[in-house]
Amino acid sequence: MVGRVHEYIKSRVGTGEKLHFTLIDPDKATDLVKLEEVSEKMVEAGTDAFLVGGSLGITHEEADLVVSTLKKRGLPVVIFPGNINCLSRYADAVLFMVLLNTLEPYYLMQIQVIAAPIIAKYGLETLPTGYLVVDQDTAVAHVGRVYPVPRNKPELVAAYALAAEMMGLKYIYLEAGSGAQQPIPLEFPRVIKQHTGLTVIVGGGIRDPDSARKLTEAGADIIVTGTIVEKDPDLGARIIKAIKETTSQ
């Protein structure tokens, strides 16, 4: 159900505020003391929510533990599922996603059918999201059997976004892939904002404040960083501050 987390996002994005979500992969966040420290640092820097998920190796117990730890920070914790193993009853919401450019029917409808009764039992809010993966050389592209979108074809991205909106989705997540060589092209959020009212989430390969700022100026409403938070939390904090400065200009 669309509920409190959607309202939290919508009310702020609606005023032009740019948001930042910190992505934690439970497969990598095995040191809980470090997770406490890093998550606190991200909250101090101004992150707006935590995403929890990843493509590989996450056990149900790890997902529960990471979500419970992050809940202490007082911000929404949203599952960003690679599969049903990432679901946790302790989360506030889940990105209920369809992988728009997959060749694999499992990710188009089957996983949603498998997950829906579990999500209902857990009482998680669902954020209806079209997930579009841009590059090929990433774990998410391989696992998701992605048919990549060419970087020089923003008109294709606009068509995907329009179709997603016509199907009733509220969010589109433009994904370069975790640890990607470069973020998605700036033209992609730009065309989506020209053609739809979708809330645009952008992630993958964002490793410096300038890239994050350019993406928000191009129309991204929410920036996600994961790898940099693990590798260099201070730089992660500077990225968040750059995003927040875009809002105040």
What token pair was written down for 98? 């369809």
For 57, other C-beta atoms within 10 Å of its C-beta total 12
Nearer to ligand 1GP, 155 or 232 (CB): 232
**Nearest distance from residue 46's CB to ligand 1GP, in Å?**
17
What token pair was written down for 30? 């095995």
Q: Which of 100, 118, 207, 227 is nearest to 163 (CA)?
A: 100
Non-local (6+) Cβ contacts of 212 within 8 A are: 20, 206, 223, 225, 239, 242, 243
- How distant is the alpha carbon of residue 28 from its chain centre? 17
**Nearest distance from residue 32's CB to ligand 1GP, in Å?**
20
Which residue's C-beta sits nearest to ligand 1GP?
A: 203
What token pair was written down for 137? 């050389």
C-alpha 231/C-alpha 236 separation (Å) is 9
Q: 125-133 and 93-99 as β-strands: parallel, antiparallel, unpaired?
A: parallel
User: With contact defined as beta carbons under 8 Å apart, do 174 and 131 qualify?
Assistant: no
**Nearest distance from residue 111's CB to ligand 1GP, in Å?**
16
Nearer to ligand 1GP, 3 or 186 (CB): 186
**Nearest distance from residue 140's CB to ligand 1GP, in Å?**
6
**Nearest distance from residue 166's CB to ligand 1GP, in Å?**
25
Nearer to ligand 1GP, 90 or 173 (CB): 173
Nearer to ligand 1GP, 51 or 164 (CB): 51
Nearer to ligand 1GP, 128 or 179 (CB): 179
C-alpha 233/C-alpha 218 separation (Å) is 25
User: With contact defined as beta carbons under 8 Å apart, do 198 and 160 qualify?
Assistant: no
Nearer to ligand 1GP, 154 or 205 (CB): 205
List contacts with ligand 1GP (CB under 6 A): 23, 175, 178-180, 203-206, 224-228
